[in-house]
């Protein structure tokens, strides 16, 4: 009987290709939340640095407490620094919105209702922050009003600029209230998720 020639079996391409695709999609699914988390952390850092630089450090260095005339002179003398503080404060609003959007996308699978509520709160927070940035520029516009504010005496213009600074401070405090509420909601979602490890309390019975 003639020997049969056995041909080598070829690998099945129809089974390998879907397997490879499934593995690639799984790796992308794993990396996507991780990449979003890292980007959210970067935006959080940029938002904190820009907002604190504009509203706390720069403005705090230019404002002379209890002296509207000295504050007006400080702002006009350091106009470039004051404008830079306004720009970084406005940039903080953009960073904050992008950061909040990423956090919503990350935490929505945990609890959609709480994530939506947190997104609503942070939108209000960013709106107040935007108003805060506009009020930041108010004192300089008043002090450089020109013909539009020609009816105001220098003392009245300085007092109006001081009023804008007080409104800026009040809006900043209101912004912190909404931001604190958002932090509570977001912290609850992070605790319920698997993004952070659970805190383990040691058992006192095992220490003996």
CA 139 vs. chain centroid, Å, equals 26
Question: Can you read off the two tokens belonging to residue 68?
Answer: 């509207």
Contact 177, 128 (CB under 8 A): no
Give, as one character, the DSSP assignment of residue 153.
-
d(CA 208, CA 200): 18
Question: Is residue 12 within a helix (H) or strand (E), and if so which, with residue range?
Answer: none
Q: What is the DSSP string of 23-74?
A: HHHHHHHHHHHHHHHHHHHHHHHHHHHHHHIIIIIIHHHH--TT-HHHHHHH
The share of the chain scoring above pLDDT 70, in percent, equals 76
Q: What's this model's pTM, rounded to 2 decimal places?
A: 0.72
- The Cα 70–Cα 143 span in angstroms is 12
Any idea where the domains of the chain sit in the sequence? 35-194
Looking at residue 5, its pLDDT comes to 57
Give the pLDDT band (50/70/90) at residue 21: low
> Per-residue pLDDT tens for 113-168?
999 999 999 999 999 999 999 999 989 888 887 666 667 788 888 888 899 999 99
Q: For the chain, first and last CA: distance in Å?
A: 81
Q: What is the pLDDT of residue 39?
A: 87
Residues in the chain, total:
208
Characterise 111 by phi-psi region: left (phi > 0), alpha (psi -120 to 50), beta (else): beta
pLDDT at 75: 92
- 154 vs 89: which has the higher pLDDT: 89
């Amino acid at each position: 009987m003639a020997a049969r020639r056995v041909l080598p079996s070829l690998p099945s391409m129809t089974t390998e290709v879907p397997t490879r695709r499934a593995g690639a999609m799984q790796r992308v699914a794993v990396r996507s939340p991780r990449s979003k988390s890292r980007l959210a952390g970067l935006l959080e850092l940029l938002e904190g640095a820009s907002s604190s630089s504009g509203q706390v450090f720069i403005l705090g260095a230019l404002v002379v407490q209890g002296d509207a005339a000295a504050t007006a002179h400080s702002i006009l003398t350091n106009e470039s620094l004051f404008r830079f503080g306004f720009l970084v404060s406005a940039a903080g609003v953009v960073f904050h919105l992008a950061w909040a959007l990423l956090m919503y996308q990350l935490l929505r699978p945990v609890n959609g209702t709480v994530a939506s509520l947190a997104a609503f709160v942070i939108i209000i927070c960013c709106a107040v922050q935007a108003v805060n940035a506009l009020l930041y520029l108010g004192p300089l516009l008043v002090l450089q009003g020109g013909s539009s504010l020609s009816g105001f005496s220098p003392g009245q213009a300085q007092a109006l600029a001081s009023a804008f600074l007080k409104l800026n401070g009040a809006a900043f405090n209101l912004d912190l209230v909404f931001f604190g509420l958002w932090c509570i909601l977001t912290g609850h979602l992070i605790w319920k998720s698997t993004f952070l490890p659970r805190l383990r309390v040691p058992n006192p019975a095992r220490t003996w």
